[in-house]
Structure formats: structure tokens, C-alpha cells
């Protein structure tokens, strides 16, 4: 059935009704007031897919922002708080949300109060010929008024009347028609806690001739912003991505300080290097526990079901330890020393004349990038070629760290080089990194599990079950680790192919 919405500007309900009554009688019916809460992830993954997700009472609606697609809204009921995709009530919904949300949590970004005055528009026999609702929207907590909308809905067979109403409202009274996306924009603009367009990636350096010192400062500022914006999510433990993005931003900051040493005034930056290192270290365990918990299902799949009970005990312990680490981190992030550190870093960047070595940092950033990328890649090629089947695991860990450093350098400065070429290099590097990363994950897993085995209380009632479980997992981890070790050789061969090497040479060698 036809329906139209209009923005009501500067008129109260009775004034609007008066306008309509110039054509047809209007009968008010029982009004109501409802609360609407809009949810999305911190990085707006639903909005990015053109969707909005709204709750009123226990009813949820998932709807397209742009109704041109003519997709029907999905509505369902749930009395449970929905935070992650696993909380959705049906498998269809779980799948749908899993694809959009991933590991991100839903956050309420706007809470509105909606006062509705529904009315029936009738003819001379008091037969309803159209339905209308006058709806006011305001922010829930602050009562800030967002807007008033007139919703008109046709009744089958009464199109002539409906068209007369449309003419009255749109043309004679010049009321502004409102599309769904406009309505969403009204809410987004109006307020509530809206996450800004969030990205975990630092700013792109794209001016090749910019002095290295300016470029690096820009990078530091954008990374600092990412660190700050994720603090709250880390403290509230909303989802694991906040800590992850927080750590990556710190890691990237440290990598600039370490990899591009030559441009800095070492004694001036040293205290910051140390503080960032300490901050990073304080998040390591917590991240490990997060990763364990994220992988819980894949662990369960690795084991026969009669060992699942033991595994669940393992995870209960992990959760306890996570809680402890999280509390420690929260204390640190809330402490005055942390705030002082962050503020002093900002101040240092903004005001200090002492940050850089004036000669080394004056070179164009593209030259700096090329030099470091070239050297780093040479190092990786050299180290990787030396690795053979007898090499210890530590050689692979070492290589992994070098690859990470190269990757950061390439990412910071990718815009300074031809896109096609950089994409090829990044893809190759990524494959190598993924293999070495997984190797590393399984090694650590194996070590942690072996350590855990030592802590099992032999006299406890479920100790044998638990030990069997952990033993099985250790074995599984070892197998997976070995698989990656074997795959490494094949993957490194591609990375070190002549074609690749030539590409690196062409892009980054200073001889050209």
C-alpha cells in the first residue's frame, strides 16, 4: 500500500490536523510513546552496508536505509541483550549478522523517544479512507527535539482521496517529503553518541617530496588519535577489536621510532620509546587470552566431544585470568601517570624542536621510505634463504618480526609508489606473513598449553580429564605448527622469486 512521510516544520499536532480537516474529518486514536534504540558496531559496519538496526521494547528491526532496494525489513523478537552475532535468535539471523559484524560488538549509538499520535482520516460515513500518524522524535536522555514527522498510509480502493491528501500536504502546504535515508540522517545529525567515521589505519603519506620529519609527525598524530579513541572500548571491554586496534597503533608508533632511527634525536625520543614499550607489554597477556577465547570454537572442533568438558574447564580458567589482566590494564589506563604520558607525547610532538636530527630528517620522505624498505627486504631475503629444514623455530620467529617491520614500512608509505606494484608486493608479503604468523600462533599455543599442564592439580577430581584434553591440544598444535613450517619453504620461494626481487629493486633501490 502507498505510504508517504513528511517533515512537519513548526506546527503542532493540532495545526496539522486542522490542515487535513479542510478536506476530511480526522479522528484521533490512542497515542503511545515508545523508545527506539539504534545499534551498530564501533566502525559502523551496519551503516556501511546501508542498514540500520533498531530496537523498541523487545522488538528488533533490521532495515535498509535506502528503501529503493525494496527489501522488506526484517523484524524479530528477543528479550536477550544482543551484543555479538551469536546472540541473534535464529540461525538465519546469526549468519546474516556474522557476515556483517564479525567479532565486533553492537553498541547503542542513539536512543530516541518517539511520541506517536495515530489518527484515522474518514469520509462522510465515518469510513476510514487513510491512516495517519504524527510522530515526534527526541533524544531519550536529554529530551533534545529532533523532529516531527507525518506518516500517511493509503487504504486500498481509496486512492482518489489519498491523492487529494498528497496534493494538500505536498503542494498546497509545501510540506517536505521525507525519505528513509533523510530520517536516518536526522537521527545521526541530531545527536546521541555517534562514533565518527572510524578507521584503524593511520593517515596515508602521499606527498613524495614532503620532508621526512613532517611526514613522520603526521603519522604519529594519526596513530595517537587511534590510541585515544580506543581507550574507552578497552576499559569497557566492549569487544576484542578495541584492544587489538589500540595495540596495533602502539606497535606502529614504536616501529616508526625504531625502524627510522636515523632521523630522530635518539636521546629525546628514548623515554617515549621505553614508555610505549612498557605500555605494549602490559597488554600482551590480555590479548593472548582474548585470542584464546575467540578461538574457543575451533579448539572444541579439534577434540572429540567427551573431552569437551575438560576444555570448558580450561576456558573457565582463561576467563578468570583475562578478568585479572583486564582489571590491571584498566587501572593503568585510568591512572594519572598514563594520562600524563599520553599528554606529554602529544605535547612533545606539537611543541618540541628536539624530536629530529635536522640533517637526516630533512630528506624527502620518499627517499627515506625507499632506503629503509630496500634494506629491510634485502635482510629478509638473506635471512629467509638461510633457513633450512634443520633450522630452529627461533629462526622463523625472527623472520616473522622482520616481515612485520617491512610490512609497516610499506603500509606507511604505500601511496608514494605505483599502486599496482605495491599491491603485488603487499600480497606476497602478506602470504609470507600469514604463514609465519600462524606458525608463531601455534608455537605459542603449544608452549602455553605445556605450561598449563604443569599447573594442573593432580589430586583434583577432573585432573586426568583435563590433562588428557590439554595433551590432545598440545599434539594438535604441534601438528599445525609443523604444517606451517613445511609450507614456509614453498611460500618463501615465491616471495624470493626473480620477478619479485626485480620489482623490489625497481621500486626501492636508490640507484635510479
Partner 1 sequence: MKTIALYNIKGGVGKTATAVNLAYLAALENIQTLLIDLDPQGSASFYFKIKPSKKFSQKKLLAGGRSVDKHIKGTDFEGLDLLPADISYRNLDIALDSLKRSQKRLKEILKPFKKEYDLIILDCPPNVTLLSENVFFAADHIIVPTIPTTLSIVSLNKLLRFFEDTNIDKQKLISFYSMVEKRKTMHRQILNTSKQEKLNFLETHIPYNADIEKMGIYRQPTTYFSTNSVASKAYNSLWSEIKNLILKTG
Report the site for partner 1 in 61-120 (rule: CB under 8 A). 120
Interface pick for partner 1 out of 48, 127, 228, 306 (rule CB under 8 A): 127
Of 72 and 174, which CB lies nearer to partner 1 in the complex structure? 72
Given the complex with partner 1, which of 2 and 58 has the nearer CB atom?
Answer: 2
Quote the radius of gyration of the chain (alpha carbons, Å).
Answer: 30
Q: How far is the CB of 109 from partner 1 (least distance, A)?
A: 32
Among residues 69, 157, 281, 419, the one that binds partner 1 under rule CB under 8 A: 157
For cell 636530527, the residue is 357
Which one of residues 156, 419, 490, 499 is an interface residue with partner 1 (CB under 8 A)? Answer: 156
What cell numbers appear for 113 in the block?
523517544
Neighbours of 84 (CB within 10 A): 17
| Helical segments of 102-158, H only | none
126 binds partner 1 (CB under 8 A): yes
Per CB under 8 A, which region of 126-134, 135-143, 324-332, 367-375 contacts partner 1?
126-134
The grid coordinates of residue 119 equal 489518527
Burial of 70 (0-12, 13-18, 19+ CB in 10 A): exposed
- For 367, phi then psi, to 5°, come to -70, -40
Number of residues that bind partner 1 (CB under 8 A): 10
Q: What span, in angstroms and rounded, lies between the C-alpha atoms of 446 and 484?
A: 14
Length of the chain, please?
512
Closer residue to partner 1 (CB): 162 or 504: 162
If binding is defined by CB under 8 A, does position 128 make contact with partner 1? yes
Half-sphere exposure of 172 (CA within 13 A, CB side): 12
Task: Decide whether 157 or 392 has the Cβ nearer to partner 1.
Answer: 157
Q: For residues 173 and 166, give the distance between their C-alpha atoms in angstroms, rounded to a whole number.
A: 10
Range in contact with partner 1 (rule: CB under 8 A) among 93-101, 123-131, 295-303, 478-486: 123-131
124 vs 359 by CB, closer to partner 1: 124
Instruction: Please say which residue, 127 or 236, places its beta carbon nearer to partner 1.
Output: 127
Other C-beta atoms within 10 Å of 179: how many? 14
Q: Least distance from C-beta 77 to partner 1, angstroms? A: 15
Q: At what angle do helices 365-386 and 463-495 cross, to 10 degrees?
A: 110
3 is an interface residue for partner 1 by CB under 8 A: no
- State in angstroms the smallest separation of the CB of 183 from partner 1: 23
340 belongs to the binding site for partner 1 (CB under 8 A)? no
Q: Does 125 bind partner 1 (CB under 8 A)?
A: yes
Q: Considering the complex, state which of residue 123 and residue 297 has its C-beta at the smaller distance from partner 1.
A: 123
| Contact pick of 23, 103, 155, 200 for partner 1 (by CB under 8 A) | 155
Candidate list 158, 315, 341, 478; residue touching partner 1; CB under 8 A:
158
Task: Tell me which residue of 210, 273, 195 sits closest to 412, measured CA to CA.
Answer: 210
Helix ranges restricted to H, 1-133? 13-21, 45-48, 91-101
Nearer Cβ to partner 1 (61/282): 61
User: And the C-alpha cell for 217?
Assistant: 609527525
Q: What is the DSSP letter of 102?
A: T
Residue 112, judged by CB atoms within 10 A of its CB (0-12, 13-18, 19+), counts as buried
Interface residues toward partner 1, by CB under 8 A:
1, 120, 125-128, 155-158
Amino acid at each position: 500500500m502507498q505510504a508517504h512521510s513528511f517533515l512537519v516544520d513548526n506546527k503542532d499536532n493540532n495545526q496539522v490536523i486542522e490542515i487535513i480537516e479542510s478536506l476530511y474529518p480526522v479522528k484521533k486514536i490512542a497515542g503511545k510513546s515508545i523508545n527506539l534504540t539504534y545499534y551498530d558496531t564501533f566502525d559502523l559496519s551496519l551503516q556501511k552496508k546501508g542498514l540500520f538496526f533498531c530496537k523498541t521494547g523487545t522488538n528488533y528491526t533490521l532495515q535498509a536505509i535506502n528503501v529503493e532496494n525494496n527489501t522488506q525489513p526484517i523484524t524479530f523478537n528477543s528479550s536477550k541483550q544482543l551484543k555479538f552475532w551469536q546472540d541473534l535468535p535464529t540461525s538465519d539471523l546469526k549468519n546474516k549478522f556474522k557476515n556483517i559484524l564479525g567479532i565486533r560488538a553492537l553498541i547503542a549509538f542513539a536512543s530516541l523517544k518517539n511520541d506517536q499520535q495515530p489518527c484515522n482520516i474518514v469520509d462522510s460515513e465515518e469510513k476510514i479512507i487513510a491512516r495517519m500518524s504524527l510522530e515526534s522524535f527526541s533524544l531519550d536522555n536529554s529530551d533534545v527535539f529532533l523532529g516531527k514527522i507525518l506518516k500517511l498510509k493509503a487504504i486500498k480502493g481509496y486512492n482518489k482521496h489519498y491523492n487529494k491528501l498528497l496534493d494538500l500536504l505536498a503542494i498546497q502546504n509545501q510540506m517536505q517529503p521525507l525519505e528513509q535515508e533523510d530520517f536516518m540522517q536526522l537521527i545521526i545529525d541530531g545527536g546521541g553518541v555517534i562514533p565518527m567515521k572510524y578507521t584503524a589505519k593511520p593517515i596515508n603519506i602521499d606527498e613524495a617530496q614532503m620532508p621526512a620529519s613532517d611526514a613522520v609527525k603526521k603519522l604519529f598524530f594519526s596513530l595517537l588519535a587511534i590510541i585515544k579513541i580506543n581507550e574507552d572500548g578497552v576499559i569497557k571491554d566492549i569487544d576484542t577489536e578495541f584492544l587489538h586496534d589500540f595495540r596495533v597503533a602502539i606497535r606502529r608508533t614504536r616501529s616508526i621510532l625504531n625502524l627510522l632511527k636515523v632521523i630522530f634525536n635518539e636521546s629525546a625520543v628514548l623515554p617515549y620509546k621505553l614508555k610505549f614499550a612498557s605500555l605494549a607489554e602490559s597488554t600482551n597477556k590480555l590479548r593472548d587470552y582474548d585470542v584464546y577465547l575467540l578461538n574457543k570454537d575451533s579448539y572444541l572442533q579439534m577434540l572429540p566431544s567427551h573431552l569437551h568438558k575438560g576444555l570448558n574447564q580450561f576456558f573457565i580458567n582463561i576467563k578468570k585470568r583475562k578478568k585479572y589482566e583486564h582489571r590491571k590494564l584498566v587501572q593503568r589506563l585510568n591512572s594519572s601517570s598514563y594520562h600524563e604520558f599520553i599528554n606529554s607525547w602529544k605535547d612533545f610532538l606539537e611543541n618540541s624542536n628536539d624530536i629530529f636530527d635536522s640533517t637526516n630528517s630533512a630528506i624527502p620522505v620518499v627517499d627515506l621510505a625507499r632506503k629503509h624498505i630496500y634494506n629491510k627486504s634485502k635482510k629478509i631475503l638473506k635471512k629467509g634463504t638461510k633457513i633450512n629444514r634443520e633450522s630452529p623455530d627461533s629462526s622463523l620467529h625472527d623472520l616473522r618480526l622482520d616481515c612485520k617491520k617491512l610490512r609497516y614500512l610499506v603500509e606507511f608509505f604505500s601511496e608514494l609508489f605505483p599502486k599496482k606494484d605495491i599491491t603485488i608486493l603487499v600480497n606476497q608479503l602478506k602470504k609470507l606473513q600469514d604463514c609465519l604468523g600462524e606458525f608463531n600462533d601455534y608455537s605459542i599455543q603449544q608452549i602455553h598449553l605445556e605450561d598449563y599442564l604443569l599447573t594442573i592439580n593432580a589430586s583434583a577430581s577432573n585432573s586426568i580429564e583435563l590433562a588428557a584434553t590439554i595433551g590432545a591440544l598440545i599434539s594438535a598444535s604441534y601438528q599445525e605448527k609443523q604444517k606451517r613450517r613445511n609450507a614456509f619453504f614453498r611460500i618463501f620461494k615465491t616471495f624470493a622469486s626473480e620477478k619479485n626481487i626485480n620489482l623490489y629493486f625497481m621500486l626501492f633501490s636508490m640507484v635510479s
